[in-house]
Structure 1
């Protein structure tokens, strides 16, 4: 990458590139073990100090400039990222899973990826690229700069065929841009273990991504490919941390593709929590169910739907005169009496339904169970698990 470059100028700062080439990026503080409850700085103290000495200008140089300087002339490795080897395009596969590279590492990789025609496989899973857990605020703090930078790099990189960014708390605009970049790059065969090449070719009748943790961005990619998968009869996106955003994308795709009468089974179940974003995600499922007349089996178990989410889903099924839904799984969803009333009202008028699982919803209570059983009267063979 520009081997003869001597000076780099950016927003009032000037970088002595030759001096950057002499910086040992591996050099770190001896006391980094002190960072037990938080991540150490991306660049070790001595390395960052040496880099800053290569930059002239007033004030503190922007992070982007430091990373560009490293990408252009850095030697050695940073958090396992082989900077010089990547710049020389001598890396074909790079596995950085759980390397703690953070948003800075994602941005650095993005600066290097455009010159790497030989890189075919990149694993960036579990690196806090899109966000990190803040113990004080007790919430995930979003860092969209990392996913956005990688998305921009994917638009110009023509070598990658497999990329994995799972478990990085990617959401919002970062997820949208990353999914769009993946869908726009026809060389990518696998993204977050999603078989994109096969999906584009419409060669699947079943898509099983159970437990792959494809994330919000993965859900958006699947949604983008649903319209071309006319032969698909079954989709399992169980236990994938889709969140409300990923669920919305999936449901919108299914809603717009309602003329497809082939897809019969949809699994959106979670595991000891939620997969679709709780009741908020259930609203998008309900919107889809209101117009879908082909699904015969829907699994929403372990999604913390509560009364609000279950009521919305049941109302949508009840209102759809074309529904063919025969099996409905509400296992472990914290359903109370209000939700039980909604289930009873739906069961009473949905003739296609033959099976409903309401196990591990103790708040339904005896009164709620009695209402549902009353709605079942005259339905020979109806299976109720409660």
Structure 2
């Protein structure tokens, strides 16, 4: 109700609350209301799974105010990330910062994210820290990051393990593309 009635509310943190997938659905319905002008939402560690990601996907595709989504430490997995990417890949998505740290993302999820980086022109910051991808997933992201149509400015990859060769490629890309910062 607060999101529907209070258009001055710009930031909301529900981090650490036991929101669950059903609570996330109700939240997302509110985020789609015309009066909602929330810009930043933190739902970190809220017991969310892939089951709620179709609702967040709708928000990412349709809400023209929400710029930041912190959804880390939820068991979204690759299926959840794929759902989120469907919304992010829609024309007109305005999301600028997406935090997916510790969400059980593997190389499969990286493929969806890599495609989305090319389709979305608003996303500037992506956090994938503490996930399960390896060289293959990082390589897919790198291929997208090299493209002129990718506007990402910051990629956070704390506590992800890759080969020495992949490390060299990450460093080289950061030197090639001065607008990009890779934090690892």
Global fold match (TM > 0.5): yes
Match of 1:239 in 2: 73
Which residue of 327, 333, 344 corresponds with 2:154? 327
1:90-239 superposed matches below 5 A: 191-192=23-24, 195-202=27-34, 203=36, 204-239=38-73
2-side partners of 1:334 and 1:194: how far apart?
A: 37
Q: Is the 8 A contact 2:118 2:149 kept in 1?
A: no
Is the contact between residue 135 and residue 166 of structure 2 (CA under 8 Å) also seen in structure 1? yes
- Deviation of 1:310 after TM superposition, in Å, equals 1.1
Aligned residue pairs total: 164
Q: Structure 1 runs of 4+ off > 6 angstroms?
A: none
Q: Indicate the structure whose relative CO is greater, using CA pairs within 8 Å and at least 6 residues apart.
A: 2
2:183 pairs with 1:357: yes
* Kept after mapping to 1: 8 A contact 2:25/2:55: no
Per-residue deviation at 1:197? 3.5
Structure 1 partner of 2:14: none
Q: Deviations over 1:42-99 (max 9, x none)?
A: xxxxxxxxxxxxxxxxxxxxxxxxxxxxxxxxxxxxxxxxxxxxxxxxxxxxxxxxxx
Residue 107 of structure 2 aligns to a residue in which SS? helix
Change (3 A) 1:265 1:241: same
Q: What SS does the corresponding residue of 2:155 show, helix, strand or coil?
A: strand
Structure number with bigger Rg: 1
Give 1:347's aligned residue. Answer: 174
CA displacement 1:127-165 (0-9 Å, x = unmatched): xxxxxxxxxxxxxxxxxxxxxxxxxxxxxxxxxxxxx76
Q: CA deviation at 1:318?
A: 0.8
Question: Residue 323 of structure 1: CA displacement?
Answer: 3.1
RMSD: 2.1
Task: Check 1:195–1:314 CA distance in 2 against 1; reply closer, same or farther (3 A cut).
Answer: same
Distance 1:194 1:330, change over 3 A: farther
- Structure 2 CA distance, aligned partners of 1:329 and 1:309? 14
DSSP 3-state at the match of 2:41: strand
Structure 1 alignment gaps of length 5 or more: 1-163, 167-189, 359-386
Deviations 1:24-51 (A, max 9, x none): xxxxxxxxxxxxxxxxxxxxxxxxxxxx
Q: Distance in 1 between matches of 2:169 and 2:119?
A: 19
| 1:109-134 Cα distance to aligned partner (Å, 9 max, x none) | xxxxxxxxxxxxxxxxxxxxxxxxxx
Counterparts of 1:194 and 1:246 in 2: how far apart (Å)?
A: 18
Query: What are the ranges of 5 or more consecutive residues in structure 2 without an aligned counterpart?
Result: 1-18
Q: Which residue of 2 aligns with 1:256?
A: 90
